[in-house]
DNA sequence: AATTCGGCATGAACATCGTTCATTTTTCGA
DNA sequence: TCGAAAAATGAACGATGTTCATGCCGAATT
């Protein structure tokens, strides 16, 4: 049968075995892959280099993961967690518009600071037909929910469903500006201009939201 | 020396030789690659399959292009041209907000209809350090300028530079919503909801723009 | 018309990937 | 202590992009 059943199996089960000795192979591989992706991007992650850096055989990788894709998802999950933390740290409990702007700027800042890792979130594609693991989809969706509180403050009348959709839309809009702004394939946006345009976007959206909220009252 | 000097060399120079007989190898390869990318995405483009489909030897590809990357850029340039045409067709010379919405919907429609080709525009990365050809950067920047007319109508006071930056920002925001909305890696957005959220985004941005314009008068 | 010559096409060969699997080594409970 | 199960090993496989010595063909020259 071989039900893979990652998601939450080996991490805790064998935590005892690696307590004093070297950490578990699986975790070590994720650590090294994370550093590699952070330094050289997704394209820099090679099975043989990874095995050499981990001090294990090439085939050992495939005893810990079914794929390199699975390893990449694991690395991306960590990146998502750091991104979540960065957004949470930027969250100011003040005015809603300020909170939205702070989170947008935190997103841009994270993308700049950890650009290769951040890029890997969107560059990576799993083979066609392969289902996205639920734990990964959850991690992605948690990102959007960070916008929920400011939106609830701005639009108290909306139900949770509509707020979630709006949160996703606003997040996507900010992501688009950051993603195309950092893309060198287009004429590079000067950093100062990108900062400014992100502020413009937030101001426009916030103005629209306030108008929307006024219409509902 | 072997100065490659693509950009505009062989297309016209040898047009006579392929007038009655088979078309030039270079154009044939781009045609086939375009169909392959449209059907199977960037990942489906293989040098050997391409040579077999074109009825030429494997090495012949590299007499027409320096790289497969160069071929991909040519395919992407055609996709950009079709996207431009789609945006122009959607352009309505009426109210600015309607024009913006029409172009945003045309963008989403194009991405849906030609999803693999559209994806290839953003999935493809050229090797690190390789400069983006000027003709490709120009084609990309032409896209943004499509928003210039509606923006000039909404914000008559702004100079061309600021309008160009704003056009880029709005385009990027729409792109972000479409890109993340069509991404299956996240929980798939139902098509109807995506249509709706794109409308929400445009409405919010347009409201913000009108407020901005009112402030300037 | 014969001959030379230059450039293009050829496809086997090479380098580099991810992945597999027969084999060896290690682990650990009876 | 021993034997079976699990894990690790690394050579081998198949795919892939790219190169290069070789052959071929057409045009220019004599």
Do A57 and A117 fall into the same domain?
Answer: no
Reduced to 3 states (helix: H, G, I; strand: E, B; else coil), residue A150 is helix
Å from A23 to nearest chain B CA?
Answer: 30
Do A108 and A56 fall into the same domain?
Answer: no
Domain interval for residue A43: 22-65
Å from A170 to nearest chain B CA?
Answer: 8
Q: Could you report the per-residue pLDDT of B51-61, keeping only the tens digit for each?
A: 999 999 999 99
Q: Could you report the per-residue pLDDT of A99-133, keeping only the tens digit for each?
A: 999 999 999 999 999 999 999 999 999 888 888 99
Do B58 and B144 fall into the same domain?
Answer: no
Q: Does residue B38 belong to any structural domain of this protein?
A: yes
The continuous run of DSSP H or E covering A156 comes out as: none
Q: Could you report the per-residue pLDDT of A61-78, keeping only the tens digit for each?
A: 999 999 999 999 999 999
For tokens 């951040």, name the residue.
Answer: A118
Among B26-40, B69-83, B137-151, the least confident range: B137-151
For tokens 């479409």, name the residue.
Answer: B178
Structural domain count of chain B: 2
Q: Does residue A14 belong to any structural domain of this protein?
A: no
Q: What is the CATH number of the domain that holds B212?
A: 1.10.357.10
Number of residues assigned to chain A: 217
Do A56 and A114 fall into the same domain?
Answer: no
Contact A90, A102 (CB under 8 A): yes
Q: What is the CATH number of the domain that holds A60?
A: 1.10.10.60
Q: Could you report the per-residue pLDDT of A133-183, keeping only the tens digit for each?
A: 988 988 888 999 899 999 999 999 899 999 999 999 999 999 999 999 998
Do B47 and B152 fall into the same domain?
Answer: no
Average pLDDT over chain B, rounded to an integer: 86
Give counts: helices (H), strands (E), chain A: 11, 0
A181–B132 C-beta distance less than 8 A? no
Task: Kindly tell me if the per-residue pLDDT of B151 is higher than 50.
Answer: yes
Give the C-alpha separation, A75 to A81, whole Å: 10
What 8-state DSSP symbol labels residue B19? S
Asked whether residue B44's C-beta has any atom of DNA/RNA strand D within 7 A, the reply is no
Task: Kindly tell me if the per-residue pLDDT of B31 is higher than 60.
Answer: yes
Q: How confident is the model at residue A217 (pLDDT cuts 50, 70, 90)?
A: low
* Cβ of residue A177 closer than 8 Å to a chain B Cβ: yes
Q: Could you report the per-residue pLDDT of B74-130, keeping only the tens digit for each?
A: 999 999 999 999 999 998 777 888 999 999 999 999 999 999 999 999 999 988 888
* Cβ of residue A196 closer than 8 Å to a chain B Cβ: yes
Q: What are phi and psi of B185, to 5 degrees?
A: -65, -35
Contact A75, A119 (CB under 8 A): no
Asked whether residue A58's C-beta has any atom of DNA/RNA strand D within 7 A, the reply is yes
Do B170 and B117 fall into the same domain?
Answer: yes
Do A87 and A137 fall into the same domain?
Answer: yes
Reduced to 3 states (helix: H, G, I; strand: E, B; else coil), residue A187 is coil
Q: Does residue B122 belong to any structural domain of this protein?
A: yes
- Which of A97, A176, A210 would you mutate first to test chain B, the one with the most B CBs within 10 A? A176
Do B50 and B139 fall into the same domain?
Answer: no
Do B145 and B207 fall into the same domain?
Answer: yes
Do A192 and A160 fall into the same domain?
Answer: yes
Of A65, A91, A116, the domain-final residue: A65
If DSSP states are collapsed to H, E and C, what string results for B64-132?
HCCCHHHHHHHHHHHHHHHHHHHHHHHCCCCCHHHHHHHHHHHHHHHHHHCHHHHHHHHHCCCCCCCCC
Distance of C1' in D30 from CA in B26, Å: 36
Q: How confident is the model at residue A1 (pLDDT cuts 50, 70, 90)?
A: very low
Identify which of A129, A107, A128 has the alpha carbon closest to the alpha carbon of residue A173: A107
């Amino acid at each position: 049968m071989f039900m893979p059943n990652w998601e939450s199996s080996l991490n805790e089960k064998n935590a005892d075995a690696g307590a004093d000795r070297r950490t578990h192979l699986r975790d070590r591989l994720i650590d090294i892959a994370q550093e590699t992706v952070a330094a050289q991007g997704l394209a820099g992650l090679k099975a043989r280099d990874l095995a050499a850096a981990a001090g294990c055989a090439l085939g050992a990788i495939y005893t810990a993961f079914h794929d390199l894709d699975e390893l990449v998802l694991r690395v991306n999950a960590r990146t998502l967690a750091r991104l979540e933390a960065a957004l949470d740290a930027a969250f100011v409990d003040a005015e809603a518009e300020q909170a939205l702007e702070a989170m947008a700027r935190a997103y841009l800042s994270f993308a700049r600071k950890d650009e290769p890792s951040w890029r890997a979130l969107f560059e990576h594609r799993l083979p066609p037909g392969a289902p996205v693991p639920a734990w990964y989809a959850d991690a992605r969706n948690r990102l959007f929910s960070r916008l929920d509180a400011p939106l609830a403050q701005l639009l108290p009348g909306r139900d949770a469903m509509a707020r979630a959709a709006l949160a996703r839309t606003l997040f996507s809009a900010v992501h688009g500006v950051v993603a195309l702004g950092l893309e060198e394939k287009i004429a590079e946006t000067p950093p100062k201009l990108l900062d400014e345009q992100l502020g413009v976007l937030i101001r426009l959206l916030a103005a629209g939201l306030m108008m929307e909220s006024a219409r509902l009252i």
